[in-house]
Amino acid sequence: MIVYGKNVFTQLEQDPDSIERIYLQKGIRDRKLIDRVQRLKCDIQYMDRNQLDQLVKDRHHNGIALKVCPIPELSLEELIQKADRPGLLVALDGIQDPHNLGAILRTCDCVGADGVILCRHNSVSLTPTAVKASTGAAYTIPVCTVTNLKNALNQCKENGYWVIGSDMEGARDYREGIYDVPLVLVIGSEGKGISPLVKKQCDYMIKLPMEGKITSLNASVACAVLLYQIYQARHPL
């Protein structure tokens, strides 16, 4: 797997055994970055800008890319067992934009969430773009990929979790949510929202007020607002 960006390197720098090769852009002027790379004593390959662009299929790589071992994932059972109490998991139902996934992972790290549940089909996975957008959080937040999200949520409920979904219809204001219990927060796809079968697994729905002419928020933005509301409820000043 090829990942890229300075923030991703900063995270991987702490686990050099996971790095198989480092690709540096020829002529890069960041002397501190070069020194950090050389201290790791990993295999280094220098490439010109066009070669690096083609390698990562993106121009926003900050002059560094890395060939790494696959990011390890947990089973759902392991994710539940490792969660602190009260647990906080985020389940993504049909999210397809890797930038949204990366941003959600980043927010999960910031609020101390215990993990993210992804769907195997018709959903984004931990692609290099998602890893870059996460600014390294793809390596700090445990991820579990399930075949059937409905069944996974039911398993979470059997382990004491409440499942709440973000939706506009039949939902209570997000400030009225019950957040001091183990929670799975479900975020629906960018276009269709939460699927009907998954919605049936939700104990209740919450919504964000929309006072202007726009009727929805970006999925990662909505997730961030809701996660910080949960954080505020659990850690009041």
Q: Is the same domain home to 157 and 42?
A: no
Q: Is the same domain home to 166 and 219?
A: yes
Q: What's the structural domain count of the chain?
A: 2
Which domain-ending residue is among 68, 93, 112? 68
Q: Is the same domain home to 162 and 114?
A: yes
Q: Is the same domain home to 161 and 115?
A: yes
Q: The tokens of 29 are what?
A: 């002027």
Query: Can you tell me the mean pLDDT for 195-223?
Result: 92
- Report the alpha-carbon distance of residue 137 to residue 10 in Å, rounded: 11
Chain-wide mean pLDDT for the chain?
94
Q: The tokens of 121 are what?
A: 């089909």
Q: Is the same domain home to 58 and 125?
A: no
Higher confidence at residue 4 or residue 191? Answer: 4
What would you report as the CA-atom Rg of the chain, rounded to the nearest whole angstrom?
A: 19
pLDDT at 190 > cutoff 80: no
Q: Is the same domain home to 126 and 198?
A: yes
pLDDT at 168 > cutoff 90: no
CA-to-CA separations, 162 to 96, 115, 117, in angstroms, rounded: 25, 15, 15
Higher confidence at residue 190 or residue 134? Answer: 134
**Residue 116: its pLDDT value, please?**
98
Which domain-ending residue is among 46, 68, 90? 68
Range of the domain at 15: 2-68
Q: Is the same domain home to 105 and 217?
A: yes
**Residue 48: its pLDDT value, please?**
94
Q: Is the same domain home to 56 and 112?
A: no
CA-to-CA separations, 124 to 98, 142, 150, in angstroms, rounded: 6, 16, 17
Q: Is the same domain home to 43 and 83?
A: no
Q: The tokens of 73 are what?
A: 């994932």
Contacts of 207 (CB under 8 A, 6+ apart): 166, 167, 168, 171, 172, 173, 174
Which domain-ending residue is among 68, 92, 108? 68
> Residue 186's domain is classified under what CATH number?
3.40.1280.10
Q: Is the same domain home to 54 and 145?
A: no
pLDDT (tens digit per residue) in 67-119: 998 899 999 999 999 998 899 999 999 999 999 999 999 999 999 999 999 99
Q: Is the same domain home to 57 and 82?
A: no
pTM higher than the cut 0.85: yes
- Report the alpha-carbon distance of residue 100 to residue 104 in Å, rounded: 6
Q: Is the same domain home to 101 and 187?
A: yes
Percentage of the chain beyond pLDDT 70 is 100
